[in-house]
Structure 1
Amino acid sequence: MASNITLSAGVRQNLLSLQNTSSLVALTQNRLATGKKVNSALDNPGNFFTSQSLSNRASDLNSLLDSIGQAQQTLKAADQGITSLTKLVESAKSIAKQAQQAPSAGSTTYAAITIQGDPPNETLGTTGNGSTITVANATTYSFAININGVGAQTVTYTSDGSATYAEILAGLQADFATKVNTAGFTAGTDIELVANGGGDGIKVNALKADIDMVISANSNAGLTNNTYNSTSLLDNIGTAGYTLTVAVNGGSNQVITFGTGVGQISTLAELNATIGTLSGLDTGSGASNSAVTFKVASGTSQNSITLTSSNAALTTALGLTGFTGTTQGTATPGTANATRTSLENDYNAVLAQIDTLAGDASYNGINLLNGDNLKVVFNETGTSSLTISGVTYNKAGLGLSTISSGYFQSNGNIDLTIASLDTSLTTLRTQASKFGSNLTTVQTRQDFTKNLVNTLQTGADNLVLADTNEEGANLLALQTRQQLSTTALSLSAQADQAVLRLFG
């Protein structure tokens, strides 16, 4: 057995030296074969695990480069889409300008406007036919009347010695006129006293819808003591202070205020008079129990009327529900120009292409021109990212719409279309700038990530890679040492063999 073999000290020392050299040769050859000086945690735990961590992060970031690259392509697709949309909008603008330069259609006329409301009827207070007056000589006929609460006035007449119904009626009418005037009203204008329907008595009638009266202290006059109220426009409105604003053909606002103050309106008759003073209204405008009417004459330029009510109760009382706001006369174009008609079709065709192009500008299922958003992640933990908000750039999203037949026959309509197209172009250019900025950001982060991956990988390699030049030199030195150790071992063995000569 090997344990029973005895080696001399010289042989054993040379043998150990040779074994150590062989071990170093094997280690150096492994480093040269793998290119690494640290191949496992046993070689150098610190360097091994640090290198592995750096390599793992580099790998994670490297995998993100693919998604960042895809994000770039998505942005480029959106940018190309905007470029193409811009060309289409410019084409549509060119078509509109061609239409503008084509001969105009015949003069467009605008129909007359009639707004007619049906207000609740006003009513006039009346005592109705009084009872028959008993004609008697030297008899006093009287009653008290309080108009609109200003205070009671006593109307009285004493018949003479040859009394007749006509005499009594005339006497009461004369005193009635005096007392009404005293109260601040005008007989025959605001209120009247007349013969009843049977010609044998009297009755009192309000002549304006804002006249209310209370009859009391009747004596021989045939009237019934009671309250007799009218129903005025203001009563139907319910509250004073509301306003109706009228603007005709884009002119200044003309304000009508409803109430009992100076210059305010409380009855349809007053409203009728006020409407007659408004500028821009045509003949036939006015107000009565049958209708509240506003008319605007026809013309060759766009006509309009705008009614603005300050309260729904006022709108209802005037019968104008559904008529507030702006009403325009219906346009009747003259003879259409064939070129302009053809260009209308061309314009609509371009707008249809805007819709289809915006829908086709997707990349890998994401369309930044059709409302989709794009999130780009820049680090392995997801804490660094950029969300790019998409837009909807079909024709509606750009503020454009298909035009109807005859629309380009009016230069005014073409001007509006060109203005809308200019706004769309500004919108597209602004968004193109935003996408360009986003693309620059993504490209910058892509370059940064590439450089960081390279830095991490270099750092990881520096910890574990071997210097092949150094290892090659080491191997050569070890091989030389190995040869010398073999020679030394051989010489030691020869010295031990010298004793054999004694037995020769």
Structure 2
Amino acid sequence: MTDVTLSSAVRSNLLSLQNTANMMAKTQERLASGLKVNSALDNPTNFFTASSLNSRANDLGRLLDSVSNATQTLEAADNGISAITNLVESAQATARQAQQTPATVDQTTVSAEAAQTGSATITDDAAAVLTGSTTLTGTDAGSTAVSNGQTLSITVGGDSVTFEFDTDGSNTPAGGNVEIDASGDLDSVAANIQTQLRLVTGGTETVAITGGNLTITADDNTTSISGISGTAASALLGTSTAADPTNAQIGALSGTVTIGSNTLTFGSGNIETRADLETALGGLTGGITGSIDGSNNIQLTGSSGASFTVGGDSANLTALGLTAGTEEATTSVTQVTNPERAEFVSQYNELMGQIDELAEDAGFNGVNLLNGDDLSVIFNEDGSSTLDISGVSFDSAGLGLSQLSATGLDADSDIDAVLTALDTATSSLRSQASEFGSNLSIVETREDFTKSMINTLETGAANLTLADTNEEGANLLALQTRQQLSSTALSLASQADQNVLRLF
């Protein structure tokens, strides 16, 4: 295609209009992006310098997160030290309380309990047994031992009966007497006496021939056999005239005996036998124990240092071998370790356990400066500026403290040693708190500096690349005016070229 020939005026105005359009496009781009340097083509020096500044600002911005974590880690450690210090001070207060408590106290020990041993022998329970002294022999001795009409009177426990013997069936008993058939042998005579005796007394007495002697046994351990008389008495029993139960000393008692707050009542329906007495002694209250010992004497003992008083009817006391009066325990006073100090040991050990747990819980984001972890804080993008913070072990062992034994505060010298260790621990805590505080101040200062540095870098980059919107707006307005003027000038130049048409 052949070029179109333009006049000099038209071409000049056209070029001016094109330049104005290019400048307007550039200005509009700056207004739209806010940058006067959008690429290396706009200004290589400013573009690459700003890019370098922004890169460094971004690197420092990423470091701020780790610096912030370091700040929180130090704050967590400082909080832990403050809490541990409070616990150590509580332990000091506990030790001082123990120190103010007397080391020993008086302890009363019972060396001998209150006791009384009866002087009388308490015999075993056994029924009264009356054994005749006349030896009877022969199968028909019943008719030969007694004569027709002879009598035998027996009193058992207050019930009396008179037997009248009939040897040949011809005897008629006197009024009130009980007839006994004596025509047979002695065994049958004994059986007849037993039957009739039981009918009269209502008891369970036994009558038998033992070793050739007539034996009468009472039915219980309290009944006596007495009043043996009659014309047949010597023939059947010889000189035996009475028998008592072996516990007659108890069965004969009446009235009361007092032991402390306990009352023992004797007599019918109450204490009548040794077994009854043993039961009553076994039921004593008020810290008193009672029994009948192996020597058959009453043994009374107060427990845990208790005293007791024995009283009651003098006859009863004499029969039992007891003495009226008050029995006191023998005591002694010794100095023993104050048990309150052991309670302070328990409190102290609980505080030590809490110190250990608190030291384990003072970490942040996996780093615990109180449990031996170290922390390294990087402040610049190439890692050449750092702060190394060494951790410590601030559990009870790391502070030079330990659990105490049960007797760990018994001696005043032990308490002094504990207080010295606590003072040393307090000094260590305060010194480390100061060191961590200094480290925290450094980290916070570097954090503020890094933030300011980032702002400086970003501001410098912006100064190199940001557009002045006011200026660019004014430029666009001026270019729009120029564009209108250029269009008008181009139109006028075109009209001048058209004047040649008037010649035709």
Q: How does 1:45-194 map to 2 (within 5 A)?
A: 45-105=44-104
Give the secondary-structure state (helix, strand or coil) at the position aligned to 1:4. coil
Does the 8 A contact of 1:74 with 1:363 survive in 2? yes
Deviations 1:297-330 (A, max 9, x none): xxxxxxxxxxxxxxxxxxxxxxxxxxxxxxxxxx
Task: State the match for 1:219 in structure 2.
Answer: none
Count, aligned residues:
277
Measure, in 2, the Cα distance between the counterparts of 1:480 and 1:387.
Answer: 65
Paired letter, 2:402: S
- Corresponding residue for residue 18 of structure 1: 17
User: Residues of 1 paired with 2:403 and 2:104: CA distance?
Assistant: 20
1:51-450 aligned within 5 A: 51-105=50-104, 334-335=336-337, 337-450=338-451
**CA distance in 2 between partners of 1:42 and 1:58 (Å):** 24
Partner amino acid for 2:472? E
- The one-letter amino acid of 1:473's match is A
TM-score w.r.t. the length of structure 1 is 0.54
Alignment partner, residue 487 of structure 2: 486
Contact 1:69 1:446 in 2 (8 A): yes
What is the rounded CA distance, in whole Å, between the counterparts of 1:4 and 1:445 in structure 2? Answer: 69
Q: 1:106 Cα shift?
A: 5.1
Query: Gaps spanning 5+ residues in structure 1: where?
Result: 108-332
Give 1:3 shift: 3.6
Aligned position for 2:229: none
Q: Distance in 2 between matches of 1:3 and 1:386?
A: 77
Deviations 1:400-437 (A, max 9, x none): 01000122121111111111101100110000000000
Question: Is the Cα–Cα contact under 8 Å of residues 374 and 389 in structure 1 kept in the other structure?
Answer: yes
| Distance (whole Å) between structure 2 residues aligned to residue 85 and residue 448 of structure 1 | 33
> Residue 26 of structure 1: SS of its match in structure 2?
helix
**Aligned mates of 2:442, 2:2 — CA distance in 1:** 75
Q: Secondary structure at the match of 1:460?
A: helix
Matched to 1:102, the amino acid is T
Q: Distance in 1 between matches of 2:377 and 2:75?
A: 14
CA distance in 2, matches of 1:334, 1:383: 67
Residue in 2 that maps onto 1:251? none
> Is contact 1:105-1:410 (8 Å) kept?
no
Tell me the CA shift for residue 334 of structure 1.
3.1
Secondary structure of the 2:387 match is: strand
The structural deviation recorded for 1:500 is 2.6
**Aligned AA (1:64):** L
What is the rounded CA distance, in whole Å, between the counterparts of 2:384 and 2:408 in structure 1? 54
Rounded to whole Å, the distance in 2 between the matches of 1:6 and 1:379 is: 66
Relative to structure 1, the CA distance from residue 20 to residue 410 in structure 2 (aligned partners, 3 Å threshold; closer, same or farther) is same
Shift of 1:103: 2.2
Counterpart code for 1:356 = E
Matched, 1:31 2:33: no
2:436 maps to amino acid: F
Q: Secondary structure at the match of 1:407?
A: coil
Moved more, 7-16 or 421-430: 7-16
SS at match of 2:104: coil
Q: Residues of 2 paired with 1:480 and 1:497: CA distance?
A: 26
Aligned to 2:255: none
For residue 453 of structure 2, what is the amino acid of its counterpart?
L
Residues 99 and 408, structure 1, Cα contact 8 Å, conserved in 2: yes
Q: Read off the aligned partner of 1:420 and give its amino acid letter.
A: A
1:453 aligns with 2:432: no
CA contact (8 A) 1:79 1:432 kept: yes
1:68–1:446 CA contact under 8 A, matched in 2: yes
Instruction: Report sequence identity in percent.
Output: 60
TM-score by length of 2: 0.54
Q: Provide the C-alpha distance between the structure 2 equivalents of 1:341 and 1:20, rounded to a whole number of angstroms.
A: 101
State the 1:7 CA deviation: 1.5
Contact 1:340/1:408 (<8 A) preserved: yes
What's the offset of the Cα at 1:378? Answer: 0.6
**Following TM superposition, by how much is the alpha carbon of 1:374 offset from its aligned partner in structure 2, in angstroms?**
0.2
Match for residue 473 of structure 1?
474
Q: Secondary structure of the equivalent of 1:370? A: coil
- Asked if the contact 1:370/1:393 (under 8 Å) is kept, the reply is yes
Conserved? CA contact 1:35–1:466, under 8 Å: yes
In 2, Cα distance between equivalents of 1:66 and 1:406: 52
How far apart are the structure 1 equivalents of 2:435 and 2:468? Answer: 50
SS at match of 2:388: strand
Q: What letter matches 1:417 in structure 2?
A: V
Q: CA separation in 1, counterparts of 2:406 and 2:5? A: 119
User: The residue matched to 2:46 in structure 1 has which SS?
Assistant: helix
**Paired letter, 1:70:** N
Give the residue type in structure 2 aligned to 1:76. E
CA distance in 1, matches of 2:492, 2:11: 12
Checking the alignment, whether the CA contact within 8 Å between 1:37 and 1:466 is kept in structure 2 is: yes
Supply the distance in 2 between the matched residues of 1:471 and 1:482 (Cα, whole angstroms): 16
For 1:90, give the aligned amino acid.
E
Aligned residue type for 1:358: A
* Separation (CA, whole Å) in 2 of partners of 1:425 and 1:55: 49
- SS of residue in 2 equivalent to 1:401: coil
**How far has the Cα of 1:498 moved from its partner?**
2.2
Q: Select the structure of larger CA radius of gyration.
A: 2
Q: CA RMSD in A?
A: 1.6
Counterpart contact for 1:77–1:363, Cα < 8 Å: yes
Kindly provide the amino acid, as one letter, of the partner of residue 334 in structure 1.
Answer: V
Q: Distance in 2 between matches of 1:399 and 1:8?
A: 103
The Cα shift of 1:92 comes to: 0.5
Residue 294 of structure 1: aligned partner: none
User: What is the SS of the residue equivalent to 2:342?
Assistant: helix
* Letter of the 1:469 counterpart: N
The AA in structure 2 aligned to 1:78 is A
